[in-house]
């Protein structure tokens, strides 16, 4: 070890005065746009997102005590269910300051059942920190959140956490990122020691060793010269860093070729440009639980992730149906997107918004373009997990919660009433699992409907409907845990006692070929009659396309005012298929022809006629049932692999491949969801409690004729 005296470094966060000057990153005041970072912490379950966020809050002075996930004291995991299970269920927002920058952070869940929280958070964030476990590497949900970030063109920095764990391997995680995610990871640090001997990291930009004073909980850290035994590795990694950057930066390329000195600031500037252009992924490392590596991660967030001014202007559609863009500026008209609804027992319904342009003041009137109505914002709140700080205003680049909006839902656009605009909404995945729920008493009957409505407002991936034949209330979600949490919240938060049925697979129906159907609804009574007539063409669509409706009538055979009634009738008829009564998906309906009566025609008549014609066409179109197929990864010790593969084959599963890792053999497979109920218990039995698995929805596939007969017989 180099004997050069250590240089003590004062932590960069303003611990004792985290609220900065109004021109910097302060809370509740207008910050300079270039000094704002809106970022999300995203990762596979148990990679350390919440633990990392807790350290960020401690080192930036927001919290004066570190919360821990394992003892239920984490600030960001504030729900009772989160504290009991030690997992994040709902995304939580908070704000902190670092080096004169305001950082708005959303800590997201890692469990696949709550992936909707990641989806809606990434829709409104400018950058993300993806956290990887140094032992597990790129895990199934890591791939999912990466794809979600890629969809929104979100710049990312990676943090390899848990470097102190047995089996930690920094280089292996980098290799998995290249192979599984298809990205170009660039190490900005390498670990100093590994597993139990992990002591810090070597900064490849400054070529310094960073170590931590454990007695100060990592608040005090030190920089010194790179130890001799690490110099060769550090120089080799630095060379790789400069080579990669030279490919994207001409000025740095020239200096690199001519072997001129390249300053640390030039390297950081080049890393920022390449990261914002989505060319590279900077990789840092550490151990959040052991309080190592969090301050350099904060530096990385400030140095390499975008501010609102680094993102393209937000695109929307104005009242005339024309495309319109808004710059991230306080001088532009106000526009914001509602990305989350939360019911608060003290202030009522909270609507979380990302402000893209302009300024919003408390007590002002906003226009909800999505609902075509004006509403008054009574309060604006800066959120810190479940704690609130009332503020007077928010401006472009801010994330906050507003109170007072009565008719609001996730994905709605709020804007200046004089300059209306609607922004692109948020799409949510289909639910794959359902259960029946019934109130235990008459008192619970009324409360159940209200409670389910409020929960579905909060969580767009949770859906509820009443079965028209049985009268049962059916709730649907993303997995068994998702619905278990919903039922638990009904009991605890809403005081509703209910009987819950067994989980059921959310089957779907679709069609195999093109067909035409004709629907006529004619009714004569003593007074005015009813007349509607529609000819519809159905065509199958690619999986995941959804429903498309097109009007091809000519010559006014059906008046324009009845066209929407035809579409409405079709949509209602799609809710119940003809094979097993499951919802129809992935088809196109074209209105070809029809007729009307000047006196007797009405919206209701055309709605019923469309429903009749649609059902006739579906019967002719060779309908069939679809079942959800899950992507599953099973991690088992080598000696149990053959038993696990045999069990997967017995569940109609298809083995995709096997990968040997330090944590055990990973068996990848596709298995129908219907075969996975209770799988955790079976896997524990097969592997003497040592096997684990992760699954996520892959796609819908055609159910076999034999399977269809069984399913329909049980309907």
Confidence label for 7 from pLDDT (cuts 50, 70 and 90): low
pLDDT at 77: 47
CA 555 to chain centre: 46
Q: What percent of the chain has pLDDT over 70?
A: 90
Backbone angles phi, psi at 590, to 5 degrees: -115, 125
Backbone angles phi, psi at 193, to 5 degrees: 80, 170
E strand or H helix at 678: none
**Residue range 88-125, pLDDT digits in tens:** 566 778 888 998 999 998 877 766 667 777 888 888 89
pLDDT at 690: 77
Task: Return the sign of the alpha-carbon dihedral for residues 50, 52, 55, 60.
Answer: negative
pLDDT at 300: 96
Percent helix, strand and coil across the chain, each to the nearest 5: 30, 35, 35
Confidence label for 22 from pLDDT (cuts 50, 70 and 90): very low
Confidence label for 31 from pLDDT (cuts 50, 70 and 90): low
Classify residue 533 by burial, with Cβ atoms within 10 Å: 0-12, 13-18, 19+: buried
Can you tell me the distance from the alpha carbon of 625 to that of 46, in angstroms, rounded to the nearest whole number? 36
pLDDT at 9: 54
As a whole number, mean pLDDT of residues 23-48 equals 72
Choose between 583 and 66: higher pLDDT. 583
Contacts of 15 (CB under 8 A, 6+ apart): 59, 60, 61, 219
CB contact at 8 A, 47 and 136: yes
| pLDDT of 27 over the 80 cut | no
**Bridging pattern class, strands 379-384 and 387-391:** antiparallel
Q: What percent of the chain has pLDDT over 90?
A: 43
Q: Poorest-confidence range of 390-399, 400-409, 675-684?
A: 675-684
Q: Look at the block and give the residue holding tokens 């003497």.
A: 688
| pLDDT of 79 over the 60 cut | no
User: Tell me, what DSSP letter sits at residue 178?
Assistant: I
pLDDT at 613: 95
**Bridging pattern class, strands 281-285 and 185-187:** parallel
Can you tell me the distance from the alpha carbon of 269 to that of 252, in angstroms, rounded to the nearest whole number? 10
Choose between 664 and 367: higher pLDDT. 367
Choose between 546 and 140: higher pLDDT. 546
Q: Poorest-confidence range of 58-67, 86-95, 446-455?
A: 86-95
Half-sphere exposure of 477 (CA within 13 A, CB side): 23
| pLDDT of 557 over the 50 cut | yes
CB contact at 8 A, 228 and 252: no
pLDDT at 4: 43
pLDDT at 473: 84
| pLDDT of 399 over the 80 cut | yes
- Global model pTM greater than 0.85: no
Choose between 302 and 493: higher pLDDT. 302
| pLDDT of 693 over the 90 cut | no
Give helix then strand counts, H and E, for the chain. Answer: 16, 39
Q: Poorest-confidence range of 346-360, 422-436, 512-526?
A: 422-436
Confidence label for 663 from pLDDT (cuts 50, 70 and 90): low
Confidence label for 487 from pLDDT (cuts 50, 70 and 90): confident
Can you tell me the distance from the alpha carbon of 225 to that of 209, in angstroms, rounded to the nearest whole number? 6
pLDDT at 90: 67
Mean pLDDT of the chain: 85
Backbone angles phi, psi at 413, to 5 degrees: -105, 130
Can you tell me the distance from the alpha carbon of 296 to that of 282, in angstroms, rounded to the nearest whole number? 12
As a whole number, mean pLDDT of residues 267-295 equals 94
Choose between 49 and 702: higher pLDDT. 702
**Bridging pattern class, strands 156-161 and 314-318:** unpaired
List beta partners, residue 658: 667
Task: Return the sign of the alpha-carbon dihedral for residues 84, 89, 95, 98.
Answer: positive
Q: For residues 449-487, b (16+ Cβ closer than 10 Å) or e, as one string? A: eebbebbbbbbbbbbbeeeeeeeebbbbbbbbbbbbbbe
Confidence label for 647 from pLDDT (cuts 50, 70 and 90): very high
**Residue range 215-240, pLDDT digits in tens:** 888 888 899 999 999 999 999 999 99
As a whole number, mean pLDDT of residues 147-166 equals 91
Confidence label for 277 from pLDDT (cuts 50, 70 and 90): very high
CB contact at 8 A, 474 and 436: yes
The angle subtended at Cα 166 by Cα 161 and Cα 172, nearest 5°, is 60
**Residue range 287-338, pLDDT digits in tens:** 999 999 999 999 999 999 999 999 989 999 988 888 999 999 999 999 999 9
Using H for helix, E for strand and C for coil, what is the string for 574-621? HCCCCCCCCCECCEEEEEEEEECCCCCECHHHHHHHHHHHHHHHHHHC
Q: Look at the block and give the residue holding tokens 């004291």.
A: 73
As a whole number, mean pLDDT of residues 633-660 equals 90
């Amino acid at each position: 070890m180099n004997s050069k005296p250590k240089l003590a470094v004062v932590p960069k966060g303003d611990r004792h005065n985290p609220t900065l000057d109004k021109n910097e990153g302060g809370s509740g005041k207008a910050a300079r746009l270039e000094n704002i970072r809106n970022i999300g912490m995203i990762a596979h379950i148990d990679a350390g997102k919440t633990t990392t966020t807790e350290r960020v809050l401690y080192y930036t002075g927001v919290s004066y005590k570190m919360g821990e996930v394992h003892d239920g004291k984490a600030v960001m995991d504030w729900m009772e269910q989160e504290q009991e299970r030690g997992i994040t269920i709902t995304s939580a927002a908070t704000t902190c300051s670092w080096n004169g920058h305001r950082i708005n952070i959303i800590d997201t869940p890692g469990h696949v059942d709550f992936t909707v929280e990641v989806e809606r958070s990434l829709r409104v964030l400018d950058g993300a920190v993806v956290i990887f476990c140094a032992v597990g590497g790129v895990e199934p949900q890591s791939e999912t959140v990466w794809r979600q970030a890629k969809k929104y063109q979100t710049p990312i920095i990676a943090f390899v956490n848990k470097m102190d764990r047995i089996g930690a391997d920094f280089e292996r995680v980098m290799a998995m990122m290249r192979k599984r995610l298809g990205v170009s990871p660039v190490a900005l640090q390498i670990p100093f020691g590994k597993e139990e001997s992990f002591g810090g990291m070597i900064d490849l930009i400054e070529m310094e060793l960073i170590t931590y004073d454990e007695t100060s909980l990592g608040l005090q850290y030190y920089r010194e010269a790179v130890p001799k035994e690490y110099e060769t590795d550090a120089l080799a990694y630095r060379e790789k860093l400069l080579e990669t950057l030279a490919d994207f930066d001409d000025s740095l390329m020239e200096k690199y070729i001519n072997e001129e000195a390249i300053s640390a600031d030039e390297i950081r500037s080049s890393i920022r440009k390449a990261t914002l252009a989505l060319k590279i992924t900077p990789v840092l490392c550490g151990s959040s639980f052991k309080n190592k590596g969090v301050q350099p991660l904060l530096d990385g967030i400030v140095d390499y992730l975008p501010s609102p001014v680094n993102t393209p202007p937000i695109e929307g559609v104005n009242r005339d149906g024309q495309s319109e863009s808004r710059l991230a500026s306080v001088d532009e008209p106000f526009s914001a997107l509602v990305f989350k609804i939360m019911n608060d027992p003290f202030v009522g319904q909270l609507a979380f918004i990302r402000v893209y342009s302009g300024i919003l003041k408390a007590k002002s009137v906003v226009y909800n373009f999505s609902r075509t109505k004006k509403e008054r914002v009574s309060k604006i709140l800066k959120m810190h997990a479940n704690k609130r700080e009332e503020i007077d205003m928010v401006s472009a680049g801010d994330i906050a919660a507003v109170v007072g909006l009565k008719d609001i839902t996730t994905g709605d656009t709020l804007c200046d009433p004089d300059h209306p605009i609607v922004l692109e909404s948020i799409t949510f995945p289909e639910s794959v699992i359902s259960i029946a729920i019934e109130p235990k008493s008459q008192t619970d009957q009324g409360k159940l409907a209200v409670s389910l409505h409020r929960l579905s407002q909060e969580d767009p991936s949770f859906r509820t409907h009443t079965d028209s034949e049985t009268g049962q209330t059916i709730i649907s979600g993303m997995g068994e845990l998702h619905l278990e949490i919903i039922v638990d919240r009904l009991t605890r938060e809403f005081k509703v006692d209910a009987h819950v049925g067994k989980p059921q697979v959310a089957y779907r129906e679709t069609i195999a070929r093109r067909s035409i159907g004709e629907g006529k609804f004619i009714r004569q009574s003593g007074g005015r009659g009813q007349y509607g007539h529609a000819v519809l063409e159905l065509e199958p669509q690619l999986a995941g396309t959804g429903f498309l409706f097109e009007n091809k009538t000519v010559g006014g055979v059906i008046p324009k005012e009845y066209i929407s009634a035809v579409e409405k009738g079709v949509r209602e008829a799609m809710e119940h298929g003809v094979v097993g009564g499951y919802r129809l998906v992935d088809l196109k309906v074209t209105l070809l022809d029809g007729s009307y009566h000047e006196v007797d025609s009405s919206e209701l008549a055309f709605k019923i006629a469309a429903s009749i014609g649609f059902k006739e066409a579906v019967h002719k179109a060779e309908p069939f049932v679809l079942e959800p197929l899950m992507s599953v990864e099973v991690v088992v010790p080598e000696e149990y692999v053959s038993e696990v593969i045999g069990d997967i084959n017995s569940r109609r599963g298809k083995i995709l491949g096997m990968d040997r890792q330090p944590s055990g053999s990973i068996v990848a497979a596709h298995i129908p969801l219907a075969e996975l109920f209770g799988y955790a218990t079976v896997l524990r039995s097969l592997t003497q409690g040592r096997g684990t698995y992760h699954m996520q929805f892959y796609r819908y596939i055609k159910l076999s004729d034999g399977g269809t007969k069984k399913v329909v017989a049980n309907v």
